[in-house]
Amino acid sequence: MPFHPGIATDDTEISFGEVDYRLQRRRLLRDVERGIVDPAEVCDVHPELIRVARNVAPHTGVSCPLCSEKELRLVAYVFGPRLGPGGKCVVSDEELQRIARRQGDFVSYEVEVCATCGWNHLLRRYPLR
């Protein structure tokens, strides 16, 4: 998997089935700033994820928290029936809506990615409806 969808105890469930990982993100960035976590550990981006971020993923309008020069990209991975064990990378709302209309339960993971330094972090997880 290109990111870490494990749910830590401090993650915030903001509505039914939706989990917001921004608290965890803030804590991780603080630990990097304090030298507790090596930046190399948080810039371990999967090559496929960086390819998608660089070529097709939408901009977020937010600067990278680590290299701060480049804008972060938003990549969504959807998991569910017939999407394979690695999920499917989705970069447009139209595609997300197409999958949401299919039979079965689908879950989307939104990951912010810096194509320059490799910073990547899961932002939220939510069921597609």
Query: Are the C-beta atoms of residues 110 and 74 closer than 8 Å to each other?
Result: yes
64 is a contact residue toward Zn ion (CB under 5 A): yes
Please report whether residue 117 would count as binding Zn ion according to CB under 5 A: yes
Number of residues interacting with Zn ion: please give it, by CB under 5 A.
Answer: 7
Q: Which long-range contacts (CB under 8 A, 24 or more apart) does 101-106 make?
A: 104/80, 105/80, 105/81, 106/78, 106/79, 106/80, 106/81
Binding span for Zn ion by CB under 5 A among 5-13, 15-23, 97-105, 108-116: 108-116
Minimum distance, C-beta of residue 63 to Zn ion, in the bound complex (Å) = 8
Q: Which amino acid is at 95?
A: E
CB of 8 to Zn ion, least distance (A): 23
Give the position of tokens 């990278």.
Answer: 64
List contacts with Zn ion (CB under 5 A).
Answer: 64, 66-67, 114, 116-117, 119
